[in-house]
Structures are given as structure tokens and as C-alpha cells.
Chains A and B, each alone.
Chain A
Amino acid sequence: MPNLRAEDLRALLGRDLPGLLQEAYPLHLAPPPAHGHAPPPFTTADALVDADRIIEAALYLRDTLGYAFLSDICVVDYLADGVFELVYRFYHVEGGPSLALKARVPRESPQVPSLTPHWPGANFHEREAFDLYGITFVGHPFLRRIYMWDEFEGFPMRRDFPKQGDKYIGEEE
């Protein structure tokens, strides 16, 4: 049963794909408070890779390391730092714990190459990320909203999306 840890993956990626790894700077989960202690920032042990070269890293995981099973793509909105972090989670078919690849994209122009041409299973994950966070996956064959209706404006899971009020209430028919 393969049992690679996040540190091993970082070492392997640094050896085989130079320039791909990025330094995982700590992220702030909340804007600094006016007084009192700021909560400790969020640091990650997982491999943070260049968002533009995510396909390269993912294919390395699949073809070289055998982590062929793309289980999950998750987006986290770090509003205070102005980045989205994408978490790609891979499993080995033989079993064992997961390996995660993380990529950070700026909130203003979130663009990532799509994994769907290589992993058809990424299709709905990426559509969900586009629908709820507005991340554009370049090369996705059918990047449309998946949960919200097509005319919906805004991206409801972003942390700056208003939590209350409804612009549709009170509108003329």
C-alpha cells in the first residue's frame, strides 16, 4: 500500500519538476482585528504548485506516482489575502492516504487550466467551482453554471457575497 506523505511529495516534485513548487506562505483567515490577538495564520504542509502548471503536476502524480484517482477539487476563499486556494486531492488505486496539490490564484482574475481533458471526473468539480466561486477553468469543454440558474449574477460561495437580502425581491414582474 503506497504511503507517500506530503513532505515526500514536495521532495519528489522539487526533484523531478523544478520550478513547479511554490513556497506556501501563511494565509490569514480573518482581517487583523482592531485590538487583541490576531488568530494564527493558516499554514499548509501540502505541496503548493504553480497554478499555470497544475496539469503537469497532476499528470506527474498520475503517471509517475500512480495516484490516478482524482477524488476532490475544493476551493477555499482566503479573502484577507485576496487569493483562492484550490485543493486537488488524489488517491492511489492500491489504497493509502491521499496526496493533495494546492494552487493559489488571485481573486481578481482566477484562472486555472482545466483538468477535465485528462480526468473527465474533474468535470463537475470544476463546474461547481466555477458556479460558486467564479474560477475560470481554461480548456473546460462545458463550463456552465451547475447549481445556480444561468442568469444568476455573482458567485454565492465567495466570502464577500452578501449573506442577506435578495435583489429579486421587490422587482417588478
Chain B
Amino acid sequence: MLKTEELQINIGPQHPSTHGVFRMLVTVDGETITDLKPVFGYLHRNHEQLAEMNTYQQNMPYTDRLDYFNAMANNHAYAIAVEKLVGIEVPERAEYIRVLMVELTRILNHAGALGFLINDMGAWQTQLAFGMREREKILDLFESASGARLMCNYFRFGGVARDLPADFMPRLKDLLLAMPGFVDEMERLLRENEILLQRSEGIGILPQELALAYSVTGPVLRGSGVAYDIRKAEPYSIYDRFDFDVPVGSVGDVYDRILVRIEEMRQSKRIIEQIIEQLPDAQGGYMNPKARQNVRPPVGDVYARVETPKGELGFYLVSDGSTKPYRYKVRAPSFINLTPLGDMCRGYKVADVVVILGSIDIVMGEVDR
């Protein structure tokens, strides 16, 4: 009998598969993982304290930097939180524009996330390039509406910064023409690919009970079979006006998360189609003319959350009646989704760690804050 010894190794912080500066302290027995501790904070900038030193309005562009893939979704969460605290009404048209942007964000995030995941599995750049191409088109739309591709800073309290440009809708319709083809193609490429099945089926299983206990959200929770989508569970904005389905997995492995993400892109497309139908009838402009930007909310606290592509993003704000928040807390989805990483990886091989991490879909700007 050979005597084996446990070995501690570091994966990261500078490692291409860690999606940023993220370190995993892995204890291995041979190739098998016996323990894994995520270590982070390399990108920590005390975002929350910066926010307490700024006014409510000045914080809006900083929320872009949380999850820099989904700036629009972050803007949405923060705008909802402040609007709830102050009591600002949002015109209907502005709500439609917001939801449109957030759903486009969801498509681009999943296209990118799946690309990166397949990249981690070793299909170097193929799927990533296809995903990035679709993402690029959506970013072009964002740029024409907000002026920036990633750091959009598009939402304001009581609406959005400016109305959609004239050429936005025709381009969006073009994009939607291409979208089913793109998603079907992605599914053809991935769904029954033997290599992908080998790498993802039965890997990184997170059972339903554990997923709930670990407070994970987003596609990771739904991949584990819990049909919990904030858009349905606690509808915010105007999500109660749209028909869409919630995809869930049955096993809770990496493969389920891939399938859930692919289906979510289709559902987002469904929502966007309904928006295009309903938008011309929407009342009000893109901005509530009575809404002040330099808000001075009454003393109180508020928690508002949205379903970003990565999960539940919540803002807890305490106001002391001044223009600056007394407390500003971000409940970041990728940060909490990392909690079960150790349990998900235990018992699998080192090569599976990068796949499991990729299937959680983290962004370090949000994890480290």
C-alpha cells in the first residue's frame, strides 16, 4: 500500500481560469480535492465606504463597476432602491426601456458566461468567440443608447438618462432576428457534444436543499431545481406584465447550469419581443420630469433587490436625511454564490475545479467590492 500525503496548492490569484484575481487554496490528495477555500479581496476597494462618502446620485456610475458585465442590471437595482426610499414614480416608458436593457444584459451575460465556461473546459476561444460576437452587437446597442459599452451609467432616479435613439429599434429587431439562430446554434454546438458531456455531467453537484441553505441565487439555484426567480417571486418594475417561463435543472450539476442559461436567453428574448409590442403604447417620457437627481431621502432604511443575470443583487440603504447614504450595503450575487464552492468541488479532480468555478459565473468586481 502506497502512503499518500495531502498537499496544499494555490490555484490563482493570477490564473486564466479564475476570471479575475481570485485564489483557491486547494488541498488535494493525489488528483482528488479534499478541501477548497476561496481567498479573495485582491480587488477590494471598499466600495461601500466610497458610496457613503458620495451622494446618492454620484453612486450611480460606481454601481457599474460592481459587476462590469451587467452594468445595466446593477443600475436597475440601485435606482429601484433609491426610488423606493425617496418615493419617486417612474413613467411607464422608462420602465419598459429599463427592462429592455436588463433583459439584453441577461442575454449578453449568458452568451459571455457560457463562452468563458467552455473556454475553461478547453475549447479554446471557439464558443467564446461566438458568444462575444452576439455580445458585441448588444454592446453596440447599449453604446448608442447610453454612450458607453460597459460602464453604461444609463439609469437615473425616475427614469433613464436619455431616450432611445432613432435607429435603436430597427437594430434591435435585426438582432432579434439573429437571436434564435444564435441560441439554437449554441445549443447544437454544446448540448450533445460528447466532450462537454464528459466534462459537465455529474460534475459539481449542488443538491436542492444545500443550494437553499447556501443562499445561492440565479442560474446556480435554478440549476439545482429551485424555481426561484425574483422576477416571479417578488415582481419588481413591470415584470408582472410579461409572460415568460422559469427554467430549472433537475440534478444540479454543471450541465444543468449550462442548459438553464441557454433557456434563459430564450426567455429573455420572449420578454424583449413583448416589450417591442407594448412600448409604443407606453405612457410618459423616458424620465419623470418631477424627479430630482440630487435626492435627499427621509430618514429610513430600504432593501431592494433585482434578479441580475448572476442572481440576487440587493441594495440595503439607510438614510440619515442628507444627500449621502448613511449605510450602503451591496448584497452581491457572485460573492454569495461562491460560498458553496468548497462543497461543490470536494471529491472531484483538480481539472473540474475550473469548470465548476466557471459554471458559477463570477465577476471579481462584484465579489471583492
Chain A residues proximal to chain B, CB less than 8 Å:
1, 29-30, 39-42, 44, 68-72, 74, 76-77, 87, 89, 91, 93-98, 100, 119-125, 132, 142, 145-149, 156-157, 163
CA distance A148 to B320 in the complex (A): 28
Q: Among B232, B299, B314, B336, point to the contact of A95 (Cβ < 8 A).
A: B232
Contact A163-B213, Cβ < 8 Å, known A29-B326, A42-B318, A148-B44: no
Query: Is A121's CB under 8 angstroms from B214's CB?
Result: yes
CA distance A118 to B326 in the complex (A): 31
A-B complex: 8 closest residue pairs judged by Cβ atoms:
A121-B215, A95-B233, A29-B320, A147-B41, A147-B44, A72-B331, A121-B214, A74-B329
Query: Is A70's CB under 8 angstroms from B301's CB?
Result: no
Q: Which chain A residues border B339 with CB–CB below 8 Å? A: 120-121, 123-124
Looking at the complex, which of B45-53, B134-142, B195-203 is the stretch in contact with chain A? B45-53
Decide yes or no whether B40 CB sits under 8 A from chain A: yes
Query: Is A29's CB under 8 angstroms from B299's CB?
Result: yes
Query: Is A121's CB under 8 angstroms from B336's CB?
Result: yes
Query: Is B318's CB under 8 angstroms from A76's CB?
Result: yes
Decide yes or no whether B300 CB sits under 8 A from chain A: yes
Q: 20 A-B residue contacts at CB 8 Å?
A: A29-B320, A39-B321, A40-B299, A40-B321, A41-B299, A44-B301, A69-B212, A71-B312, A74-B316, A91-B234, A95-B228, A120-B213, A120-B214, A120-B340, A121-B339, A132-B46, A147-B41, A147-B369, A148-B44, A156-B46
Contact A70-B215, Cβ < 8 Å, known A29-B299, A39-B320, A148-B41: yes
Q: Among B46, B300, B303, B335, point to the contact of A98 (Cβ < 8 A).
A: B303
Query: Is B303's CB under 8 angstroms from A100's CB?
Result: yes
Interface size bracket, B side? 35 or more
Query: Is B212's CB under 8 angstroms from A157's CB?
Result: no
**Contact mask B210-224 → A, CB, 8 Å, 1/0?**
101111100000000
Q: Which residue of B lies closest to A96 (CB)?
A: B234
CA distance A68 to B339 in the complex (A): 17
CA distance A74 to B368 in the complex (A): 16
Q: Which chain A residues border B215 with CB–CB below 8 Å? A: 69-71, 119, 121-122
Central interface residue in B46, B210, B301, B368, by most chain A CB within 10 Å: B301
Q: Which chain A residues border B322 with CB–CB below 8 Å? A: 39
Query: Is A93's CB under 8 angstroms from B331's CB?
Result: no
Q: Which chain A residues border B303 with CB–CB below 8 Å? A: 72, 87, 89, 98, 100
Q: Which residue of A lies closest to B227 (CB)?
A: A93
CA distance A124 to B212 in the complex (A): 15
Query: Is A156's CB under 8 angstroms from B321's CB?
Result: no
Q: Among A42, A87, A121, point to the contact of B213 (Cβ < 8 A).
A: A121
Q: Among B226, B316, B320, point to the contact of A30 (Cβ < 8 A).
A: B320
Q: Which residue of A lies closest to B209 (CB)?
A: A68
Q: Which chain B residues border A97 with CB–CB below 8 Å? A: 234
CA distance A74 to B317 in the complex (A): 10
B294 to chain A, nearest CB (A): 18
| Residues of chain B from 316 to 363 with CB closer than 8 A to chain A in the complex | 316, 318, 320-322, 326-327, 329, 331, 335-336, 338-340, 343
Q: Among A1, A95, A146, A157, point to the contact of B49 (Cβ < 8 A).
A: A157
Query: Is A68's CB under 8 angstroms from B338's CB?
Result: no
Q: Among A30, A94, A100, A124, point to the contact of B233 (Cβ < 8 A).
A: A94
B365 to chain A, nearest CB (A): 13
CA distance A119 to B326 in the complex (A): 28
Q: Which residue of A lies closest to B335 (CB)?
A: A124
B174 to chain A, nearest CB (A): 36
CA distance A123 to B339 in the complex (A): 7
Decide yes or no whether B305 CB sits under 8 A from chain A: yes
